[in-house]
Structure 1
């Protein structure tokens, strides 16, 4: 049995009734929802009109009528309702009309679904959903976008001034700007974002010009930080997430970059003042504000370097003046105080680098360059290399002026080695240190062998193995010398006939490790000559490939004289 042919007018009249009912529902008129039977009848009507044989296949006409249905509704109902409202009321109407339109697209797409399945795919035409959204974009969005944008930006500015606004409304409006692009962000960016960013720049340019004149640096930074937080908050509530970076950069430019020098150099409250007054929290805030700005930390690091340089140079000048006026405390006292102050200064500003400036390499560099300036100045004719080696000597020798616990000594030595990194002539330090080390080792003035080894290990880590090779050789020589002395005493016990009858202690040194000492002939008593010959005989039993050269200037001799009343040592 053949299916009855439906002519176009008859079929479209039936569809028109369904579309009219849908419009009434959208407008809030009293109307019963579509039943499943009604839906099936509407779908079937489209199906039948599209599957009839030509010339009764009305697919193209129905496709055109589908678009006309939207155009008619927009022209007669939607646009008039939008044109009679303004500002926030217009935005609310726009949101409602957009929601209604999406509902209309969803229902009509169901009614006309057969077109999507076959006719549209075969002809490569825009789908029903795309046609519906395009109608709204071309007829509604293009007309209201400017007014909508202005209304949204006006509300944002009100919120910036502290007024309460309907954030959900803005979110819904801006979602229209996004969704109308149908997967592309062009509409949102060109029709809203660009203009909003321009308004943001103007807004904060005005604010910054006022704040920079009346606020202190800490107060200004608090306001800037709060503004950035609020702008990020706006993104999380109603702006698109892709806007955040651009928005933050605009605010940073107007509040922080443009006025950076003026802010950092503010008298009595700028970066110098914050460092001077130990305003740790404010300095941390300064870092947080500027570290994400390209090269934003450069001027901060420069001020940091200048401040440390001034403070360090002042310490040098004070030491110079104190040394020239020094009448008490002995020679070199002020120089030792200076090194201690250098260490304290370094500790202080390393805390800033690590805590306030989050261990940023730029501030490590600034600290290093500042210390290199004043750590290489001479004080009372003494170079920093000499001062540092003397300071170490005072710590490591018996009876030194630095009375510290073992733990404090190790900590101080580590700091000294760090300070050495800023000394330009490290080889000069090595020479001074080696001479003082030699005196401590040869004259038994070293307070603790472990401390001697500790600093050599730290120096080796800092400056390399070649830097400490001679010093390490000196320490090894002394260890070997003790073993050698025990062997010598054993030799004398086993060979009593060669015992010179005098207690003799000999320290054998390796020429290349130790400082150069002058060797000269000395007219020794026969008893001493006998001692030297005995030791030479012993030494030749241990090695025949080393030549002994006696350095009399480093030796000591204890002569005990018997007197009637007492025993005196000379």
Structure 2
């Protein structure tokens, strides 16, 4: 049974009734909502009008009518309602009309849904929702969006100045810009965001130019941080999220980049003042705000580096001036103060690095480069490596006398090791430290083995075994020497017939571990000769494979001086003792007689005789009397010598070992370079000249910074000695010869 066709006018008449009801609902008139029956009636009408056979298929006419209905609604109702509105009232009206328009489109789309399902797909025409948005876009948005842009920007400007605004209204208004793009952001970006960003730039440019003149650096940064927070909040409240990155970049540029140098270098409140006054919160804020800017931290880190460099260099200059003026009576006192100041400086800036700058690698690098500047300067001819070694020696020797706790000593030694990382010539430090370690181990009874091993462990962990291997051997030698001495005492008890008649202690050292010492072929007095002979006999029972070389310059002797006022125990070197013992057999000796009996060089003998006859303790009388020694002098034991103490130490004049240490280091460096080159070649087999140079420098940088010319010279030497060869086809390539 067939159905009669619905004529267009008849069907559209039914639809117009529903559309008029929808308009009344949107206008807020008293009207009942659509019932399911009403909705189904309207939907079915469209369905039937679209499913009739031609020429009664009205799909295309209905599609056109859908658009005309929206156009008429906009023209007759929406546009007149906006005509007389201004400012925020216009914005509210637009938002309300857009909301109603979307409701209108929603209901019409439901009524005309059958068109979306078939006609639109078949004809490839815009969907009903898109048509609805396009109608509003063409008739309303294109006409009002410049005005709306002005209103929105005016409200944002008011909010930036502290006024309260309706954020929800702004959010809804800006959503219109987004929705007009039909899934694209071009309308929002072109019709609002571009001008908004320019206005933002202008606004903060004005603010920054005012604040930079009026405010301190901390106040300026505080205002800037608050502004940035407010802009982020602005995005989350009503701007589209895609604006955040662009907006923040604009604000950061105007507030923090344009005036960065002027801001951070403010004379009364810049970065230097913040460090000086320990303004941790302000420094942390500086890091926070500049950390969010591309390369922003580079600027802050550079100022940080300059400030630390200036402070550290000032300490070095103070020490240099104080040493030159001899303001201290304590030898090396100013160098000790210098190291303490630099350690304290390092502690302070490490605190800033961790607490304010989040241990950022840029600030780590800045701190390292700054400390490398002044940690490699000399003070009155003393290289920094020597000064640091002397400071460590002072702590290890004087820790007990200064009543430093073990914890404080350990903490200070830890800091010394950390400071050493900034010293380029660590091998120079190692040699100076080894010299001082030798003195402590051999002559300082208060040496704490735990502390000695502790700092060696720290040095080894930080800089590798090559730096500490000899020093570890020295500490082990001293332990073994004590065992040797115990065995020697046992040997003497078991062989009383060979006892030398003196209390005699020998410390056996391994030649390779200890610093090189000047060796004298000293003709010992008979008392000492017997001691040496006895110990040789003992040592031969222990080993046949080692040769003993006697370093008398390191020896110490205790001699009983029988002076008429009172006997005094004299603590002297072995050489001084050898001189004094000659006067047991002779009342007077000439300079030449002493030389002949002891077989000493003139320079060494002059130095010894000066300490015994011309210095503080005049144990020998010199004829003629004067303050210098000449080869025509004669000497006589002074029986009237006395002192308030019953035991005195007769010191030898200090010897400046700096030159010899530097020479020793310079002698060792070619061997270190050779070893590094051979290690690299053995590993690589074939390598370019430039790579070999680079890798050699990298390997040796833990100990010293090698000179490129020196490396090239060692390469040529290794070629001569057939360790490596040049490639025949490429002179810039080297091959390892196994």
Give the structure-1-normalised TM-score.
Answer: 0.94
Deviation string 1:419-450 (CA, Å, 9 cap, x unpaired) is: 21222322221111110000000113453111
| TM superposition shift of 1:327 | 5.6
Check the 8 A contact 2:322/2:328 in 1, yes or no: no
Matched, 1:509 2:509: yes
Q: Return the alpha-carbon distance in structure 1 between the equivalents of residues 24 and 413 of structure 2.
A: 88
Q: Deviations over 1:209-263 (max 9, x none)?
A: 1121222222222221121111111111111111111111111111111111111
Asked if the contact 2:441–2:447 (Cα under 8 Å) also holds between the matched residues in 1, the reply is no
Q: Is the 8 A contact 1:394 1:400 kept in 2?
A: no
Cα drift, residue 2 of structure 1: 0.9
- State the alpha-carbon separation in 2 of the partners of residues 563 and 226 from structure 1: 86
SS at match of 2:296: coil
CA contact (8 A) 2:375 2:422 kept: yes
The 5-angstrom pairing of residues 120-269 of structure 1 reads 120-269=120-269
- 2:732 counterpart residue number: none
Q: Which residue of 2 aligns with 1:487?
A: 487
Instruction: State whether structure 2 residue 285 is matched by structure 1 residue 288.
Output: no
Deviation at 1:328, TM superposition (A): 5.0
The whole-number CA distance in structure 1 between the counterparts of 2:446 and 2:395 is 9
Contact 1:221 1:285 in 2 (8 A): yes
| CA contact 1:205–1:254 (8 Å) conserved in 2 | yes
Question: 1:291-302 maps to which residues of 2 (within 5 A)?
Answer: 291-302=291-302
Cα distance in 2 for partners of 1:124, 1:327 equals 97
CA contact (8 A) 1:395 1:401 kept: no
Q: 1:450 to 1:62 in 2, by over 3 A?
A: same
Deviations 1:311-348 (A, max 9, x none): 22222222233223336532221221111111111112
- Give the number of aligned pairs: 570
The structure-2 alpha-carbon separation of the partners of 1:225 and 1:564, relative to structure 1 and needing over 3 Å to count, comes to closer
- Secondary structure of the equivalent of 1:308? helix
| Equivalent position of 2:367 in the other structure | 367
Between 7-16 and 114-123, the greater mean CA deviation after superposition: 114-123
What is residue 558 of structure 2 aligned with on the other side?
558
Separation of aligned partners in 1, 2:447 and 2:537: 33
Instruction: Report what 2:441 is aligned to.
Output: 441
Report the Cα distance in structure 2 between the residues aligned to 1:275 and 1:559, rounded to whole angstroms: 59
Q: In the alignment, does 2:519 pair up with 1:519?
A: yes
- In 2, distance between residues paired with 1:127 and 1:487? 107
Give yes or no for contact 2:399–2:409 (8 Å, CA) kept in 1.
no
Return the alpha-carbon distance in structure 1 between the equivalents of residues 117 and 279 of structure 2: 70
d(CA) in 2 for partners of 1:180, 1:496: 115
For residue 588 of structure 2, what is the aligned residue in structure 1? none
TM-aligned CA distance change 1:383 to 1:95, over 3 Å:
same
Q: Distance in 1 between matches of 2:400 and 2:326?
A: 20
Superimposed CA distance per residue, residues 91-142 of structure 1 (whole angstroms, 9 cap, x where no aligned partner)? 1111111111111111111111122222223333322222222222222222
Match of 1:466 in 2: 466
User: Are 1:70 and 2:52 an aligned pair?
Assistant: no
Q: Distance in 2 between matches of 1:417 and 1:429?
A: 11
Q: If each structure's strand is expressed as a fraction of its own residues, which one has the higher value? A: 2
State the 1:492 CA deviation: 4.1
Offset at residue 46 of structure 1 (A): 0.9
Distance of 1:3 and 1:496 partners within structure 2: 144
1:439 touches 1:445 (CA, 8 Å); kept in 2? Answer: no
Unaligned segments of structure 1, at least 5 residues = none
In structure 2, how many angstroms separate the alpha carbons of the residues matched to 1:261 and 1:567?
Answer: 75
Partner of 1:478: 478
Partner of 2:334: 334
Deviation of the 1:302 alpha carbon: 2.3
How far apart, CA to CA, are the structure 2 residues paired with 1:462 and 1:257? Answer: 39
Residue number in structure 1 paired with 2:540 = 540
CA distance in 2, matches of 1:569, 1:225: 76
Counterpart-to-counterpart distance in 2, 1:472 and 1:235: 64
SS of equivalent residue, structure 2 residue 418: helix
| Alignment check: 8 A CA contact 1:231 1:247 kept | yes
Rate the CA distance shift 1:446–1:431 in 2: closer, same or farther, 3 A.
Answer: farther
Q: Does 1:8 align with 2:4?
A: no
The 1:398/1:483 distance shift into structure 2, 3 A limit, reads farther
**Greater Cα offset, 462-471 or 553-562:** 553-562
Question: Residues of 2 paired with 1:483 and 1:128: CA distance?
Answer: 103
Per-residue CA deviation, residues 472-524 of structure 1 (Å, 9 max, x unaligned), is: 11112112222233333344445555544544322221111111012222223
Measure the CA separation in 1 of the matches of 2:285 and 2:424: 35
- Residue in 2 aligned with 1:43? 43
| 3-state SS, counterpart of residue 429 of structure 1 | helix
Instruction: Say whether the 8 Å CA contact 2:217–2:270 is kept in structure 1.
Output: yes
Seen in structure 2, the aligned counterparts of structure 1 residues 424 and 403 have a Cα distance that, compared at 3 Å, is farther
* Aligned partners of 1:394 and 1:401 also within 8 Å: no
Which shows bigger deviation, 275-284 or 204-213? 275-284
2:115: which partner in 1? Answer: 115
Q: For structure 1, which segment, 392-401 or 239-248, has the greater mean C-alpha deviation from structure 2 after superposition?
A: 392-401
Distance 2:31 2:400 in 1: 103
- CA shift, 1:66, in A, is 1.4
Alpha-carbon distance in structure 2 between the residues aligned to 1:273 and 1:71: 68
CA distance in 1, matches of 2:486, 2:240: 84
Question: Could you say if the C-alpha distance between residues 399 and 462 of structure 1 is closer, same or farther in structure 2, counting changes exceeding 3 Å?
Answer: closer
Q: Could you say what secondary structure the match of 1:56 adopts?
A: coil
Which secondary structure state, in structure 2, belongs to the residue aligned with residue 569 of structure 1?
strand
Q: 2-side partners of 1:399 and 1:308: how far apart? A: 29
Change (3 A) 1:305 1:554: same
Q: Secondary structure at the match of 1:558?
A: strand
- Native 8 Å contact 2:389 2:432 kept in 1: yes
Q: Distance in 1 between matches of 2:306 and 2:89?
A: 57
- Alignment check: 8 A CA contact 1:398 1:445 kept: no
Moved more, 38-47 or 50-59: 50-59
SS of alignment partner, residue 336 of structure 2: helix
Question: Match for residue 25 of structure 2?
Answer: 25
Distance in 1 (CA, whole Å) between partners of 2:338 and 2:400 is 16
Structure 2 gaps of 5+ residues are: 571-738
Shifted more, 486-495 versus 260-269: the winner is 486-495
| RMSD value, Cα | 2.2
CA distance in 1, matches of 2:567, 2:334: 41
Q: Is the 8 A contact 2:272 2:307 kept in 1?
A: yes
